[in-house]
Homo-oligomer: A and B are copies of this chain.
Amino acid sequence: MPRTPQQSRSRATVDAIIEGALRCIGTSGMAGLTTKQIADKGGVSVGSIYEYFDNKEAIVDALYQRFVDDIVKMIQRETPRLLENEVEALIQAVLKNFGDLLQQNNQAYFHLAEQLLHTNTERYIAPVQDILGRFVMTYLMRHPKYLRVPNLDVMSYIMINSGIFVVIRQIAGDSGAITLEQIGHGFGRLIKHYIENERA
């Protein structure tokens, strides 16, 4: 039913809705997210929301898409710089970039990321896995010495998911006195030792 916006006014409305939703989430998290709130913060009417989205879930969906897009863009943008690093510094840089991204939009992305454990999130993560996979490939071609590390799939799965979760918890403030830098350093050395020792 809802139309796909092609004209510019429509585009603006959709953006306003997304923006409104992001601001709501940044302010009060996913908990009390209502369509009325989104409409108010976005400066549109509730009716307009349903002009462009099937239901509230579709908005959240769009937010995830945008989140994922931003992650993908971030990696693409940083790739040249990242490729220069040895693996330890690489990990640290990636975690740092990811942490910074979560702080954007008044932490709206952080609140979205909090939901990542819930059902149906796989589809959002797939593109991230994709881009990361491609990045790893590129990285390996640039640093061929790492090519002979076994279990690359399992290990990158572990490291990606571990990294995401630990950074989120750190931002959530549950980490006590542990800083993002310490985490980045720890991850970096973990991986460095693994690679150096497992390389055939």
Contacts and interface: CB of A to CB of B under 8 A. Distances in A.
A187 interface: yes
Contact of A158 (B116, B154, B186): B186
Nearest to A117: B114
A190 interface: yes
Interface in A95-143: 113-119, 121-122, 125
Interface in A151-200: 151, 153-155, 157-158, 161-162, 164-166, 168-169, 172-176, 178, 182-183, 185-187, 189-191, 193-194, 196-198
B172 A162 contact: no
A151 B165 CA distance: 20
Nearest to A163: B162
B29 A172 contact: no
Contacts of A190: 155, 158, 190-191, 194
A121 B117 CA distance: 14
Contacts of A119: 29, 172
A31 to B, nearest CB: 8
Contact of A162 (B153, B165, B174): B165
Contacts of A117: 113-117, 165, 168-169, 172
Contacts of A198: 189, 193
Interface of A: 29, 113-119, 121-122, 125, 151, 153-155, 157-158, 161-162, 164-166, 168-169, 172-176, 178, 182-183, 185-187, 189-191, 193-194, 196-198
Given A29-B118, A117-B165, A151-B186, 17 more contacts: A113-B117, A116-B117, A117-B117, A122-B172, A122-B173, A122-B174, A151-B185, A154-B183, A154-B185, A157-B175, A161-B166, A162-B165, A164-B165, A165-B166, A190-B191, A193-B193, A193-B196
* Chain A to chain B: the 3 pairs with minimum beta-carbon distance, closest first: A162-B162, A165-B165, A193-B193
